[in-house]
A and B are shown apart, each in its own frame.
Chain A
Amino acid sequence: MATTPTLKLCDDLVTALTAAWSPVSPDGVERCYFKRIGDPDDANTKLTGRKVFIFPTAYATAGATRGENEYTHRVSVLTVERFPAATPGDPTTAWVDDRVDFVHTYVVKGFDYSEDGPPSFNRKLLTLSAEVAEVCDPEKLVTGNRLFYCLVDLVFSELVAN
């Protein structure tokens, strides 16, 4: 079990998203440091279903009180899914809309621990920001073998006892 606060946060986010979303295999969510999203010929990296990968990106810490440090966690959440193989042609707008809505509902709003108070798993966690640079990467939709790809960069603040 990882003990670095940022890793622990990522594990908590995996648990929270799993509970909220209830993914059914092959859909799923996991914490990782990197992820290969591969060619269909490679069974080890072939992407099936909708996958959410939670990456610990960076953190900073500074003394807040004599008893607590304030951690700033940077976490990236990647949602990926391929357009169904049985359907020829470009991904449809409706199909992309559903994935964009998923990201907004479960990642951007789901991990927003600000005005509605802290999450039950960590009473000293606060979401500072969520940035979605692209609602979906159009290059990967068009040239990346019809891949929906949305990366959300989240920043959290947490008071951690010394």
Chain B
Amino acid sequence: MNLFAKAREWLAPAVQAAAGVSVTYTRGATSVSLTPVPGRTVFVSNAEGAPRVEFGERDYLIPVSELTALGVPKIGDRIAETIDGVTVTFEVQQPNAGEPAWRYDQTRSVFRVHCKRPS
């Protein structure tokens, strides 16, 4: 293992300890408690003449080791997080940027999961 790989191995748990949040990850009748790190939150506006479609997206960085009960993320999975005292539910969906709904990081130890708020 080279020095960079060692740093990466150290970094993920350190970030999770410092910035992880408690969430409930649900697929159908199965729920698990996780501590992912919220990633970017972006807002998109698609202007196409008169109609403007605007929506927000939120990412979570989920350690692969925490999601073993469910395997890999799946479109339609729900993530409930209490933010400022309010439980907010997000759904795993494909982002506007054209990326898939989730992907591994370089070391395949963390999932980056893209979500939107169902409404």
A interface, CB within 8 angstroms of B:
32-42, 45-48, 53, 55, 57, 76, 78, 80, 82-83, 85, 88-90, 140, 142-147, 149, 151
B interface, CB within 8 angstroms of A:
43, 46, 49-56, 75-78, 91, 93-96, 98, 116-119
| Cα distance A143–B97 in the bound complex, in angstroms | 8
Establish whether residues A34 and B51, one from each chain, have CB atoms under 8 Å apart when the complex forms: yes
Establish whether residues A41 and B56, one from each chain, have CB atoms under 8 Å apart when the complex forms: yes
Q: Which of B50, B77, B93 contacts A145 (CB 8 A)?
A: B93
| Cα distance A114–B78 in the bound complex, in angstroms | 49
Establish whether residues A145 and B52, one from each chain, have CB atoms under 8 Å apart when the complex forms: no
* Cβ contacts under 8 Å, B46 to chain A: 140, 144
Establish whether residues B91 and A39, one from each chain, have CB atoms under 8 Å apart when the complex forms: no
With contacts A34-B51, A34-B52, A37-B53 taken as known, whether A144 is within 8 angstroms of B96 at the C-beta atoms is: yes
Closest B-chain residue to A34, C-beta based? B50
Q: Which of B51, B96, B118 contacts A35 (CB 8 A)?
A: B51
* Cβ contacts under 8 Å, B78 to chain A: 88
| Cα distance A145–B117 in the bound complex, in angstroms | 8
Closest A-chain residue to B48, C-beta based? A151
16 contacts between A and B (CB under 8 A): A32-B50, A35-B50, A35-B52, A36-B54, A39-B117, A40-B117, A46-B119, A55-B49, A78-B51, A82-B119, A90-B76, A145-B117, A145-B118, A146-B93, A147-B53, A149-B51
| Cα distance A89–B117 in the bound complex, in angstroms | 12
Q: Which of B50, B77, B96 contacts A143 (CB 8 A)?
A: B96
* Cβ contacts under 8 Å, A53 to chain B: 50-51
With contacts A34-B50, A37-B54 taken as known, whether A142 is within 8 angstroms of B91 at the C-beta atoms is: no
Q: Which of B55, B96, B98 contacts A38 (CB 8 A)?
A: B55
Establish whether residues A88 and B77, one from each chain, have CB atoms under 8 Å apart when the complex forms: yes
Establish whether residues B119 and A85, one from each chain, have CB atoms under 8 Å apart when the complex forms: yes
| Cα distance A45–B54 in the bound complex, in angstroms | 9
* Cβ contacts under 8 Å, B52 to chain A: 34-37
Closest A-chain residue to B43, C-beta based? A39
Additional A-B contact list (8), CB under 8 Å, known A37-B54, A144-B53: A35-B51, A37-B51, A38-B54, A41-B117, A55-B51, A76-B50, A80-B51, A144-B96
Establish whether residues B51 and A145, one from each chain, have CB atoms under 8 Å apart when the complex forms: no
Q: Which of B43, B54, B76 contacts A88 (CB 8 A)?
A: B76
| Cα distance A145–B57 in the bound complex, in angstroms | 9
Closest B-chain residue to A151, C-beta based? B51
Establish whether residues A143 and B53, one from each chain, have CB atoms under 8 Å apart when the complex forms: no
